[in-house]
Structure 1
Amino acid sequence: MSDCVQSKRKKVARACVYCRRSHMICDEHRPCTRCIRRNIAHLCCDELPRGVAEEDPDLEKMSTREPNMSANNPVGTVGGILARQPMFASEHVGSEFSSLSEFLHMLENPLFLETDPSSVVLQVQQPSREPVQEQSPYQPTLKENFLFTAADPSQEMTPEDRLKSVINAKLEAGLLKPYNYARGYARLQTYMDEHMNPDCKQRILKPLSIIRPEFRAIARSLKDVDLILVEESFERMLLSYDRVFTSMSMPACLWRRTGEIYRGNKEFASLVGCKVDDLRDGKLAIYEVMTEDSTVSFWEKYGSIAFDKNQKAVLTHCKLCNPGKSDLTPCCFSFTIRRDRYNIPVCIIGNFIPL
């Protein structure tokens, strides 16, 4: 009877991990019968008997290695460790661990080793026969170079040097040319024909008929390079007044002797109901934002001092209007004439104080 009990309770060579932890008898089947009854058949696996591990501690370490692994093969060592299916609380984690094991096994036996190693080396070392076209660095156009120079916020140079670089870049780009004043006077003539009565038009043409021939006579005596230098001085004034108008709280603007506005601050733009950008590069003219009487008064006063070096500023009054609207703004108005080296008025700066 005792022999029968002992045969039934005879321990197997290897018990599964769960039977061993529960100190229960395991059988030779995998999954074992007990794990099947407990619905953990997918987790059932072998674990070395404790007695074997205690008798030879190195045996358990060696059992985790693949037969063809060596100490110099760290990937094989890790792959051998992963070859034993560890126990996880979830079967999904176990499947991910198995995928990692397969990946490490692929690293031990890469596919390209099945081919001739010399052919692989040749494929790696052989350069492509297709000609490689080197991409040349981008070269900006002269116009783009001028825009980059004008927008460069670098403070490494003095304001005078920066001004010279901007003007030189504009000259190289072909953007700095003598201004066509004939076109400016033609624009004024068209405006007077469409918006002014004959009497006011004649009052404006009278001073212009005196100063325009004088301007033409001086311009004809100058060479193209002289006219470009005059335009250069005008560009210098524009750059200077950009800073002046930004710091001024009084409405102000600058226009050419033909009337086209080239600079203005936000206060003046608000006064005449336009954008600051509309006060640049002749988009608006001073006679387009003044009433008819004020325009006539300005041209008469301007014509009387155009060639008088001793008289630069005039204090008067005017009424500003919003283009396209009937709103009028009476102002105290002063204007100052800036002349070039040939005593020709190159621009007029006006200051306005609303009443």
Structure 2
Amino acid sequence: MFFIISSIIHYMQNSKQKVENICVLRTSSLGDICHMLPFIFTIRKEYPNAKISWIIGKNEADFLGNIDGIEFILFDKNNTLKSYFSIYRKLKKIKYDVMFIMQVSLRANIMSLFAEAKMKIGYDLDRSSDLHSIFSNKTIKTSKHSHVVDVFLSFLNFLDIKESNFIYKWEIEERISKKELFEKFSGLQDKYFVLSPCSRSANRNWLIDRYAKVADHINKNFGLQCVLSSSSNAFEKKFTKDIENSMVSNPLNLSGRTNLHELYSLIKYSELLISPDSGPIHIATCAGKPVIGLYGVTNTVRAGPYNSKDLCIDKYNDALLRYRGLRPHEVKWRYKNNNKNVMSLISTDEVIKKIDKYFL
């Protein structure tokens, strides 16, 4: 009897060693790649001897830089067919113990077929689309009100990793030093905040005049320079220029002038980021910076800055009831309030109160 019990204990203690090859499939978007980091750091710690391969977008991998113990298998969305062949050649060489299919898309479905794995773990039916569910043989549990980070971590339940062992870390490689940042952008002052006013979905953007009033309030009351930031997209550059023209104080407009590595450092060495639901919000989480997040189309419960949810203004539930006559439990996890008036529900005073509370 003693021998049997000892054998069972020994097996339980060493069962993780049987997982030797792990494949993770999540190629994009930048925000979700940032959300993936606690999952990645946890699985790397729990399975230090396993070969862990992550199928990830080329640009997203470049943003993260090297992660010890993780092999990047790159997907280039600008060269899809060539990427498919390259990924297929790499995956077919290995028999995986487990594959985590953590993206719902036709591309992800196709790439999941390239790997041979004992377990292919995907989303539950409520979160599935594009026939995602037929490409997995295991699915995570359904949960209505969960943050993306927590949903990603729930995939680890299949490997019996306890929640107490989850690693909530968003550490990435810094490519641009503070010295290099200030040398390139000579107008940058020692104390500044970043206003990144645009999302790739324009209906998530707040109002120009309200952004301007908030920026002037911070400059006047807390002495911080406003640094405007956006992509090189023509609409976004005009949007930030309109904010600049509406301000009383003089911001530094870096719209279209930073790459992702420079943006990371710009946010890292700032005092604060203000932004709607967008990639920069989650870059700020990686940089360890607080975020005033402006939400209405999406909600902070699912997609807010994980460590700054208390600083956000969230009108998702109000908009859902006002424009659709629905409550949160009546809509799917991914549901978005796409009414054009949603973001106008956020008042200037609400944002200023959050800012004052943070600084004071």
Q: Does 1 or 2 have the higher relative contact order (CA < 8 Å, sep 6+)? A: 2
Name the TM-score class by shorter chain. Answer: under 0.3
Higher helix share goes to which structure?
1
| TM-score, structure 2 as length reference | 0.24
Per the normalisation by structure 1, the TM-score is 0.24
Q: Tell which structure's C-alpha radius of gyration is larger.
A: 1
